Chain A
Amino acid sequence: MKAPPFEYARATSLAEACELLRRYGDEAKLIAGGQSLVPMMAMRLLRPAWLIDINEIAALKFVAVESEVVRTGACARQAVLERDATIGVRMPLLKQALAWVGHVQTRNRGTAGGSLAHADPSAELPLVAQVLGAGMLLRSAKGARKIAAEEFFTGPMSTAMAPDECLEEVHWPLWQERRTGSEFTELSARHGDFAMVSAAAQIALDSEGRCVRAALGLGGVGITPLAFPGLTARLVGTRLGENDFEQLAREAAAQCDPGSDLHASAAYRRHVAGVLAARALRAAHGRAESVQ
């Protein structure tokens, strides 16, 4: 047995999970899909005294596509979101990103909520949440609160969640513009590995082809996934072309603060960030243009 000893509690409702969190506080960890938590425990990077299993809470597994938002329960499996035909049509960026998340076996067990709560700065779903400005509904024994992605992600594997809080729902905003296109791309040693750099873009155009809304994000090049609302706001009202994509990508890459490791140097990551940002913008724009 590789993990250190711990006590196991299977919560059957969110209220029970919150009560257990209230009782054990930072002695406890919630386990959703466990695709990051279990390896970390196997390597003894984490030694929780209690593991609170939320996998049997049916109320945390829903997917609801509403008019302005896709609401997903914190324990909705990545494979379920990936297969959801409505998400594929209404929120293609999420489906595009999921294709890069691990493998079939890990997506069958892994949850979107777990990935967000784990907050790996190179992970795909936190980047989508940051780019779209998703909202996180957090629950504790004291009550609920909702915070935006930009406040939620506070650092590598760090979020604004208190030790007694459980992620309950994720609210992914739907863009209403008919001519909307998106793209997710990344560079890794092998498909399914951790991304060295990832990029996500979404662009909406009016009937004349002018940009009405744009978002760009980069992952793996900072302590949290990064979005660039200040840069993309400049695109609004203009017809976009190759120069815009290149210029914006260069400026976004310049704002990144990547680290160096065995896989890639900081300079290489920054270079790749610019390349991938331009590719993502170009592809998202092309998809938006193809909607008549």
Chain B
Amino acid sequence: MTETLNAITVEVNGVPRTARVPARLSLVDWLRDELRLTGTHVGCEHGVCGACSILLDGEPIRSCLLYAVQADGHRVTTVEGLAQPDGSLSVLQDSFCEAHGLQCGYCTSGLLIAAQALLDANPHPSDAQIREAIGGNLCRCTGYQQVVEAIRLAAERGAGKITP
């Protein structure tokens, strides 16, 4: 059978992108396979691991649990959208490097999105609030301690609101 293609327009990292997608294409597959924004990772594909976290209209969600067609008319920010306009790392990303908040890096883009959303809403979170904010992101390397330290460091450095 030929699948119906649905026309969509989604603002991705500030740029309107249009496509025609089958309804069952997940947002993360569209971002990675068609827009080639491969910073967002695919882990479990059923909403458990958090690797595919993106911001939808400024709020962190799992992009494996949204069909691309559902994002039509909405605003998406991926990890590529966190970097500064000249491509250099954001305060948060730099803090992850400095505090060794990653090892293999698979979960990192999801953690960065979760952490940036936290700092956007709450620039000076407590450690408990940091842990709550990243509670939906599985990391099998770090044990989370350095991730918490990285986010705390970013907060101290004023990792300001960078998402519109």
A contact set with B: CB distance below 8 Å: 1-8, 10, 31, 34-35, 38-39, 41-43, 51, 53, 55-56, 79, 102-106, 108-109, 191-192
Please tell me which stretch of B45-53, B94-102, B149-157 contacts chain A, meaning at least 4 of its Cβ atoms lie within 8 angstroms of it.
B45-53
Chain B 111-147 interface 0/1 with A at a Cβ cutoff of 8 Å (1 = within): 0001001000000000000001101100000000000
Binds A, one of B10-18, B60-68, B81-89: B60-68
A39 pairs with B6, CB closer than 8 A: no
Assess whether A39 is in contact with B46, with CB atoms less than 8 Å apart: yes
Binding site of B, secondary structure by majority: helix, strand, loop or mixed?
A: mixed
A6–B23 CB distance below 8 A: yes
With known contacts A5-B1, A192-B136, A39–B24 Cβ distance under 8 A:
no
Report Cα–Cα, A128/B56, bound state, in Å.
28
Q: Are B135 and A192 interface neighbours, CB within 8 A? A: yes
Contact A38 B29 (CB under 8 A): no
Tell me which of B6, B47, B133, B135 contacts A38 (CB under 8 A).
Answer: B47
Q: Do A105 and B46 have beta carbons less than 8 Å apart?
A: no
**In the complex, A10 Cα to B117 Cα: how many Å?**
28
Contact (Cβ within 8 A) A104 B136: yes
Closest chain A residue, CB of each to CB of B29: A1
Q: Is the CB of B59 within 8 A of A2?
A: no
Verify B59–A108 contact, CB threshold 8 A: yes
* CB under 8 Å from chain A, chain B span 1-41: 1, 3-4, 6, 22-26, 29
Chain B count of residues within 8 A CB distance of the other chain: 34
**CB <8 Å contact, A109 and B66:** yes
The 3 closest A-B pairs by CB, nearest first: A103-B136, A8-B23, A39-B46
Q: Give min CB distance, B51 to chain A, whole Å.
A: 11
| Chain B residues within 8 Å of A3, by CB | 24, 26, 67
**Chain B contacts for A41, CB-based, 8 A:** 24
23 of the cross-chain contacts (CB-CB < 8 Å) are A1-B24, A2-B26, A8-B67, A10-B70, A35-B62, A39-B47, A39-B65, A53-B70, A55-B70, A102-B136, A103-B136, A104-B60, A105-B60, A105-B62, A105-B136, A106-B61, A106-B62, A106-B65, A106-B136, A108-B56, A108-B61, A109-B62, A192-B136
A121 CB to nearest chain B CB (Å):
19
Most A CB contacts (10 A, CB to CB) among B29, B69, B70 go to B70
Are A51 and B23 in touch, CB under 8 angstroms?
yes
Q: What distance in Å separates the Cβ of A80 from its nearest Cβ neighbour in chain B?
A: 10
Contact A43 B46 (CB under 8 A): yes
Contact status A8-B69, CB under 8 Å: yes
Contact B114 A105, beta carbon cutoff 8 Å: yes
Cα-based distance from A172 to B43 in the complex (angstroms)? 37
